[in-house]
Amino acid sequence: METIKQNLMNELAKEVFQIESDSILELKDRIGENLNNAIDTIIASKGRVIVTGMGKSGHIARKIAATMSSTGTPAYFLHPAESTHGDSGIITRDDVVLAISNSGETIELLNLLPLIKRFEVPLIVFAGNINSTLGKAADIYFDISVKKEACPLGKAPTASTTATLAMGDALSICLLKKRGFSTEDFLIYHPSGTLGRGKIYLVKDLMLKDTNLLPISHEDDTFLETVDLITKKKLGCALIVNSDNKMTGLLTDGDIRRILLRYPDVSILKTKEVMTVNPKTVSQESMATKALALMEKYSITSLAVCDEDNNPLGLIHIHDLLKAGIA
């Protein structure tokens, strides 16, 4: 009997997933010029996106506002019930209002319409009925209606709130792309926690820059001399420079093993004959997270830090990033 109950619950959960995923996928056919118009309107505005909704729609509105704010679009949640008691003062003529209501008849939102129209503030509406009062008042309308709620009673907002959130995410990410919002920009808004861990660090903050400790070898040094340097410095590599002190190559522990297998007599080798030419480098002003991205992309554990003239300034190792909590 217990197993039967568990199976019934599993099937019910799967049905919820199916209903909600179907509701999201149906949104794909409802975007077109409305999406482009919303993006252009928000980008052109000098103010913020004021996102408002009541009840469950209000919770979704808060999340959409938070997502926009963290991805380069200044946004603020306005509680519609409080708006008629003075909070509507946050709306300025430079803003855009995004109103969310499944029915399109939420009285608290309708009370905002006179102010919105008086200030000639662009109104974007997420609603389930284009013929509703909000739908008709909208400058830009998004249909977030669903065929059915996942709630078996058909009462609790479930599929409709999920679809609304997905539409908000789609708009937020399109705005991110339109603005050219970068990883570095994203980290600026997330200085704490795992999302932004390392944002406060530049490469120069973490790199080894003591010239007495840097493993710098000359390309005309013998291979064995460079190996000896790598052994003494204990950093797993050597930065190779020419007579002008410009970095021309890199020699790593991995290179050494491959060279020993390839050449029967390494005593006659010059470093420049076996070094990795034009190795990956990073600027000291780069975000430490960029150094990590390069290491991950090229499967390496350290990067030389050079200036714009390719003069070596330091070395940053994966261990430095680990200690800083970035990697």
pLDDT digits (tens, 9 = 90+) for 282-292: 999 998 888 99
CA–CA distance, 173 with 133 (Å, rounded to integer): 28
Q: What is the predicted pLDDT for the residue at 4?
A: 66
Structure tokens of 19? 């209903």
Structure tokens of 3? 């197993």
Tokens 């999201």 label which residue?
Answer: 24
H or E element, residue 323:
helix 318-323
Q: Report if residue 192 sits inside a domain.
A: no
Say yes or no: 144 and 255 in one domain.
no
Say yes or no: 56 and 120 in one domain.
yes
pLDDT for 239 beyond 80: yes
pLDDT for 247 beyond 60: yes
pLDDT for 191 beyond 60: no
CB-count exposure of residue 283 (10 Å: 0-12, 13-18, 19+): middle
Q: Report if residue 291 sits inside a domain.
A: yes
Q: Which residues partner with 210 through β-bridges?
A: none
pLDDT for 198 beyond 90: no
Among 17-31, 53-67, 84-98, 133-147, where is mean pLDDT lowest? 84-98
> 118, 147, 181: which is the final residue of a domain?
181
CA distances (Å), origin 166, targets 32, 72, 159, 177, 266 = 16, 18, 10, 16, 61
> 150, 181, 212: which is the final residue of a domain?
181
pLDDT digits (tens, 9 = 90+) for 8-32: 889 999 999 999 999 999 999 999 9
Say yes or no: 13 and 137 in one domain.
yes
Give helix 159-179 / helix 33-44 axis angle, nearest 10°.
60
Q: Report if residue 304 sits inside a domain.
A: yes
Q: What is the predicted pLDDT for the residue at 193?
A: 52
Say yes or no: 47 and 166 in one domain.
yes
Amino acid at position 115, single letter: L
For the four alpha carbons of 27, 29, 35 and 37, in that order, the dihedral sign comes to negative
Q: What is the DSSP string of 265-280?
A: -GGG-BHHHHSEES--
CATH number at residue 223: 3.10.580.10
110 in Cβ contact with 133 (< 8 Å):
yes
pLDDT for 320 beyond 90: no
Q: Could you tell me the strand order of the sheet in which 302-306 lies?
A: 281-282, 302-306, 312-317
CATH number at residue 103: 3.40.50.10490
CA–CA distance, 247 with 237 (Å, rounded to integer): 13
User: How many separate domains does the chain show?
Assistant: 2
How does residue 83 score in pLDDT terms, banded at 50, 70 and 90?
low
Q: Report if residue 188 sits inside a domain.
A: no
Estimate to the nearest angstrom the gap between the alpha carbon of 284 and the chain centroid.
23
121 in Cβ contact with 141 (< 8 Å):
no
How does residue 190 score in pLDDT terms, banded at 50, 70 and 90?
low
| Closest alpha carbon to 160 in 15, 20, 17 | 20
Q: Report if residue 198 sits inside a domain.
A: no
Q: Report if residue 278 sits inside a domain.
A: yes
CA–CA distance, 55 with 12 (Å, rounded to integer): 25
Q: Report if residue 196 sits inside a domain.
A: no
Q: What is the predicted pLDDT for the residue at 155?
A: 82
Say yes or no: 164 and 244 in one domain.
no
Percent of the chain scoring above 90 in pLDDT:
73
> 131, 148, 181: which is the final residue of a domain?
181
Residue range of the domain that includes 288: 203-323
Q: What is the predicted pLDDT for the residue at 227?
A: 95
